[in-house]
Every structure is written in structure tokens, then in C-alpha cells.
A and B are shown apart, each in its own frame.
Chain A
Amino acid sequence: MEPIITVKGISKKYNITHQKGGYIALRDILTNAFKNPFSFIKRKTKEIIGLEKKEVFWALKDINFEVQKGEVIGIVGRNGAGKSTLLKILSQITPPTEGEIKINGTVGSLLEVGTGFHPELTGRENIFLNGAILGMKKVDIERKFNEIVEFAGIEKFLDTPVKYYSSGMYVRLAFSVAAHMETDILIIDEVLAVGDAEFQKKCLGKMNDITKEEGRTILFVSHNMGAIKQLCNKTIFIKNGEVVNFGETENIIENYLSESKDNTSESWENKKDEFNNEYFKPEKFYISRENENDIYINIEANINKKDDALTAGYALYSEDGTLLYWSYQTDSNESDWPKLNIGYNKIKSRLPIEILNSGIYKIELIASLYFKEWIITPNKINPTIFFNFSKKFNESKYWIQKRPGIVTPNNKWILIK
């Protein structure tokens, strides 16, 4: 039987531009052209005949796979591995640079819940608007209307503008519309990570129904391995824009998790001379333990060119990829900043473990010229280390196991009356 989705040699290239403001202003281009007409013409001709080399980033490299009708495919991989780019190409939001995809059926994509919801419109109006944006026909929306409202549980508020909805109601309504799409193929990005636990369970149940009973084809990205195991029979593991493995979900998840563990190194060294630039070259990035309570993040780097705006530091992420905070050497009062000089510098900063919960943390080295440009951008390709932390419970006899939540501060309580 012909596969419902055939992906052949898909690659996606992004040009990396180093702009200050983010967007290009026509004004800047025009003033540039007038100020330096010769260099402008030279650059333009180079661009046209293809001599000028642009810095490029391949988000996806030669992706190939096939999906049969009725299969539920999970897609796993670290942040920035290319999962979302792949979904965007499959949903036709952005075109591939190379390759071809053939899809035999209608596609519905759900990359975000509530796309196109308008706060001024009522729940009823938004169901129709959102449904139409997701590609549903008006007659289908009308037919499914009661089901959608019932699943979301918002009967009483149907004619209230959604700007007055609680965030829970909003998400329930949005998911409910999307869950009633009737396309042959459904593409879903991490959308189950919203709403309260009870609603998440309901969504998973609904997804289960969709896949099991209605026999639809689903592509599903998630960081929630439990959900993937429950829903998907096969899984694709993507790493650095390439398919590393594609097969039975159990095996792939095992493979993915074991590979993530291998990467939990506490130190990094600039062995291949990556990350060298005009201002700053990181050499070593590691964790040091002076005693049980004092754990430090260390950065050793060569300063090539001095700039007062140079900031170096780290970004801390929890296991599921949530950013906890950024920290720079310039966080404190200016008189307390460590002075960075040309040549080799070693700086360190204590990790605030009092507030951290048990878990594996990802720590990225980041550096920038403050408010001007990134030198090493967060969430791209960075020097990365991992910190495996088991919280020592405090003296309380009631705090004897891991608590839910990202942070676990040790708060004091006082009797007022």
C-alpha cells in the first residue's frame, strides 16, 4: 500500500544574519547605498553572482521517512534538534530548501492551541473563526458544535467574549475545537503541556480515542515520554537536524534517554576551537564543588578585545527545557563586577542550590555585548554542561521527599496572631 506520507531528502537552511535591531529598515539600506555607493554595488553584485558567503544553519539535513495510514508517530529530540521545523514544513508553513514530501490526504496541524482566537469575540464566534482557520468547513463546525462546547465545558459562557475567560477555560475551548478536526492526518506540537492535570488527562484520553477508534494518522511531538509511550506505536528520534533512529517506540525512547544521559558531563572544553570570535573565546566551562553547599559554575575564557559591554554567564534550564534564569558577571552592583582583561580570565559564580529542586539541569554558556548583539546565543549551539542535583531535604520531618514544582525555596513561616 502506498504510504500516506512520504518524506524524501528534506533539508532546511536558514541564513544567519547579524542584525542589531532584528528587522531590516529600508532607511538603513538606502542611507548605506547613498553613503558608500561603491561598496554597496560591490556587495550587491557579489550577492547576485553568488560569491558572497552567507553564514548558514541547516535546521534539517536530508530527512527521509514514510508513514503508513493509521500510524501514530512520535517525534522526540532535544530543544533545537529540528522537530518544530519539520512540523512546520509538513504543515506548509515554511518551505523546505531541498527535497520533497508527498501527502495523500488532508492535513490538519495544531502547532499551538487557540491560533487566531480573538479576545473581543465570544466563545461561539471564536469556535467558528478558529475552526475555519484550522481548515474546517462551516457545516462541519456546525455539526460538531455541541460536542465541542460540551468537551470544553463552557456552555454558560458561550456568549461571553473570551477576554473574560479564565486561562483554563480559554485553553479548554481552544483544544476542544482542534480536537474535533476531521482531517486524515493530524500534526501536533507540544500542545498537551497546557491546562491543569485533569484536563491534560482528558486531552490524552481524547487523543487516544482519535487514534484508536477513528484510525487517523498522527504525527506528535512531545517531551513527555509518558504521553509518547501511551499514544505512539512508532517514534522518530531527531538529533541536530538528522533522523538518528526510527522504529518501535519502546526502543527509540530507551535510545533517546540513554543518549541524553551520556551527555550529562559536568565540564566542557573548547577542544575544536569552536566559539572563537573577535571579542571572546571560551576555553573551559565546568562545575566545581567546594563543599556540599557551595557548588560553583566556572568559566575560563580568553578575552581578545576589550569592550565594556561584554557580558558572560550562563542560562539554566530544567529537565523539560524550561528556562529558569540567565546570570551574568554583571548582575551585581557595578563596583562588585569582576574586571575582565585582555588575556586569560577565570570567573566563577555560586549556584543557588537552596531554591533548586532535585533534577538534571542543563547549563549553557552565553555571552553578549550588552544590548548590541549576542556572541553566544542562548538555546542555539552553545557550550553545554549538565548538573545532576539531588536535593538534601531540610530539617522538617514533613519534607522527606521530592516536591512538585521547579523551585523549592526553604521559606520561613511566622505566627502573627
Chain B
Amino acid sequence: MSNTHTTVIKPKKIFSFSDLKEVWEYRELLYFFTWRDLKVRYKQTAIGALWAIFQPFITMVVFSVFFGGLLKIPSDGVPYPIFVYTGLLFWQFFSTALSDTSNVLITNQAIITKVYFPRLLLPLSSIMTKFIDFGIAALILVGMMFYYNYTPNLIGLLLIPLLLLITFMISVGVGLFLASVNVKYRDVRYALPFFIQILMFVTPVIYPASIAGKYSWILALNPMMGVIQSARAALLGTTVLNWNLIAISLFATFILMILGVYTFKKTERYFADII
């Protein structure tokens, strides 16, 4: 037993880098939360992990039939199914992360009111599970690229982890904000599915950004647009890689991150009192 570990409990604590250190100290719990969420989800559904493939795949088929086939929405010169699937892959990471994160504090309220751990772990773990879903669903994309005969270039392949990181950070930023607001105002979760749906239509998931013509820079303020646009450019060569777009995305993402973490840290200490 060591006496080196000293804790000081004081009325208020504002965000400091020791918080990040603490998250690192609790990394095992982060792993266990993620592991629990995955395990429980795949135990509860009959088709288990296939669910992660099933959902984007069926969405892709439906979108391809209606938007690509019947409505003839342009797709920057690549087949519509692979065009929309690339978008959906990143979009589903973001949207499911958002809706899970916003409820994560409420679904774990029994733990929050009884045990101390950095509260940040809960939203983080629910976003982590999305990496696994992404990985599984990406297998379909690989299959489609073989089928349609697309070979990504090296820069494109190297870019994917960066785009995934941006998506992760946007999810953290917006998710943390929504999670803390949801603890205080319980009707937020009813508005959220609607909000996410609207977001999908203002993000070029089912249509190319080029459709907006010279106003497409407005869409660029939405960091998810940069991610999806660049992913298509990198993997399918729809357009030339636009590094400015990625820079704008990164910038917007950082602002969202700061906003999210700040709101979360501000309300975190009182979760147990108001939840």
C-alpha cells in the first residue's frame, strides 16, 4: 500500500490537463465500458455483429434504387451505390455516435450516482464502439471497390485514418454538448432524431456537394461535409483532393471540440445531483 496517491476534494474544478491524465489512468475502465456496450448489443440482437453490415447495406440499396435509379441524382461520375455507401459509412459513424452519446449519461445514471470515475469515459466509450461498427461495415465497401474495380491511391488510403479521426472528434464535440444538455433538459432526446435527420440532408451524403455550385463553400462549414467529400475524392477519385476543405473541417472540428468539452466539464460535477 502506497501513500503517494493524494486526492484533494474541493468545491469546484475547472478543466485542466490533469483531467486528460485521469482519463488515461482509467483507460481500463474505458475499455470495459466499450467492451460491455458491444457485447450487450451483439447478445441482444439475433443476427449479432451482422447488424453493423445490414443497416448501412440496406440503406445503400434503398437509396440507390430511389435516389440513384429513379431520381437520377448525379454522383460525380462514379456508380451511385458506391458513391452513397462511402458517404453513409462516415455518416452512420457520426449519427449513431451522436444519438448514443446524448443518452449515455441517462442510461448509466445508476453508476454515476454510486461510483466515481471520470464521467468523460461514458461518452468516449459509446463513440469507441462505432469504430468497430465502422470496421465491419467497411468490409462491404472493400467488396464494392473490387466489384466496380476501383483502386485507391496511397495518399487516399493514408487519408482515411485522418478522416476517421476528424469524424471521431466532431462526434466527441457535439456528443459531449448534447449529453450535458440532455441531463438538464430531458426533452432534448425527443428532438434529436429529427435534428440528425435534418443534418443528413444538409450534408452531401446522398448527393454530391457540386450540386450546390458556387455556393458549396457554405456547405463546407459543416465539418462532416469535408470528411465525406474528401473520402470520396481519396477512395473513388471523384474530385481532386481539396486540402483547404480538410483544413476548414479541422478548424470547425476544433471549435466544436472545445465547446463540447467545456460544456461537459462545466456541468459534469453536478450530474449526480441533478440526474
Q: Chain A nearest CB: distance from B206 CB in Å?
A: 30
Compute how far the CA of A103 lies from the CA of B9 in the bound complex, rounded to whole angstroms: 8
Flag whether B148 is at the interface (Cβ < 8 A): no
Which residues of B pack against A, CB within 8 Å?
Answer: 1-3, 5-13, 28-29, 32, 35-36, 39-40, 43-44, 110-117, 181, 184-188, 269-270, 272-273
**Can you identify 27 A-B contacts, CB atoms within 8 angstroms?**
A25-B185, A25-B186, A25-B187, A29-B185, A93-B113, A93-B114, A93-B272, A94-B272, A96-B10, A97-B11, A98-B11, A101-B7, A102-B6, A104-B5, A105-B2, A109-B116, A116-B115, A120-B39, A120-B44, A121-B39, A129-B36, A132-B29, A133-B29, A133-B117, A134-B115, A135-B29, A184-B3
Residue of chain B at shortest CB distance from A217: B1
Contact mask for chain A residues 121-145; partner B; CB cutoff 8 A; 1 contact, 0 none: 1000100110011110110000000
Flag whether A365 is at the interface (Cβ < 8 A): no
Given A93-B114, A129-B32, 10 more contacts at CB 8 Å?
A: A24-B186, A26-B187, A91-B116, A94-B272, A97-B11, A100-B9, A102-B6, A111-B115, A120-B39, A121-B40
Q: Which residues of A contact B270 (CB under 8 A)?
A: 94-95
Q: Which residues of A contact B188 (CB under 8 A)?
A: 26
Q: Chain B nearest CB: distance from A154 CB in Å?
A: 20
A120 x B43 contact (CB < 8 A): yes
B115 x A115 contact (CB < 8 A): yes
Compute how far the CA of A399 lies from the CA of B11 in the bound complex, rounded to whole angstroms: 57
Flag whether A238 is at the interface (Cβ < 8 A): no
> Within residues 347 to 402 of chain A, which ones have a CB less than 8 A from any CB in chain B?
none
Q: Which residues of B contact A100 (CB under 8 A)?
A: 8-10
Flag whether A89 is at the interface (Cβ < 8 A): yes
B5 x A106 contact (CB < 8 A): yes
Q: Which residues of B contact A26 (CB under 8 A)?
A: 181, 185, 187-188
Residue B32 contacts which of A93, A120, A132 (CB distance < 8 angstroms)? Answer: A132
Flag whether A14 is at the interface (Cβ < 8 A): yes
Q: Chain A nearest CB: distance from B114 CB in Å?
A: 5
Q: Which residues of A contact B7 (CB under 8 A)?
A: 92, 101-103, 107
Compute how far the CA of A137 lies from the CA of B16 in the bound complex, rounded to whole angstroms: 25
Residue B114 contacts which of A95, A107, A115 (CB distance < 8 angstroms)? Answer: A115
Q: Which residues of B contact A27 (CB under 8 A)?
A: 187
Compute how far the CA of A4 lies from the CA of B4 in the bound complex, rounded to whole angstroms: 11
Residue of chain B at shortest CB distance from A28: B187
Q: Chain B nearest CB: distance from A388 CB in Å?
A: 36
Flag whether A23 is at the interface (Cβ < 8 A): yes
Q: Which residues of A contact B39 (CB under 8 A)?
A: 120-121, 125
Compute how far the CA of A291 lies from the CA of B97 in the bound complex, rounded to whole angstroms: 68
A96 x B44 contact (CB < 8 A): no
Residue of chain B at shortest CB distance from A137: B28
Compute how far the CA of A27 lies from the CA of B10 in the bound complex, rounded to whole angstroms: 34
Q: Chain B nearest CB: distance from A67 CB in Å?
A: 14
Q: Which residues of A contact B36 (CB under 8 A)?
A: 118, 121, 129
Compute how far the CA of A216 lies from the CA of B3 in the bound complex, rounded to whole angstroms: 12
Q: Which residues of B contact A101 (CB under 8 A)?
A: 7-9
Flag whether A195 is at the interface (Cβ < 8 A): no
Knowing A23-B186, A132-B32, A184-B1, the reply to whether A93 touches B9 (Cβ < 8 A) is: no
Most buried by B among A88, A95, A100: A95
Q: Chain A nearest CB: distance from B46 CB in Å?
A: 14
Q: Which residues of B contact A120 (CB under 8 A)?
A: 39-40, 43-44
Q: Which residues of B contact A216 (CB under 8 A)?
A: 1
